[in-house]
Amino acid sequence: MPGALPYVMPKVVPALSEKVEQRIQIPDYRKEQMPVLMPKVMENLMPHMIGEAVPLVTRPTIDYLHGKNQD
């Protein structure tokens, strides 16, 4: 997963930035920096989060691929 970040981040940075802005009051100058900062932050966080994130998405992904509906 961390190896895929360079390919994925350009697509997800806008959504991540929007979610962060909804939860945290960010000054305008920092919002302008988000496209540069967010990939670096994720690059540092992902190797530490992978053990926690994978179990959260594994079962829903398997269920989705098997056509099971998640309510």
For 26-64, the pLDDT digits (tens) are: 899 988 888 888 878 877 887 777 788 788 888 888 999
Asked whether the predicted pLDDT for residue 1 surpasses 60, the reply is no
Q: Where are the domains of the chain?
A: 2-65
**Residues in CB range of 36: below 8 A, 6 or more apart:** none
Confidence at 66, pLDDT banded by 50, 70, 90? very high
- What integer is the mean pLDDT of 7-21? 81
Q: Give whole-number Cα distances, 36 to 3, 26, 67, in Å.
A: 18, 15, 38
Do the beta carbons of residue 39 and residue 60 sit within 8 Å?
no
Quote the pTM value. Answer: 0.48
Asked whether the predicted pLDDT for residue 2 surpasses 80, the reply is no
Q: What are phi and psi of 41, to 5 degrees?
A: -65, -45
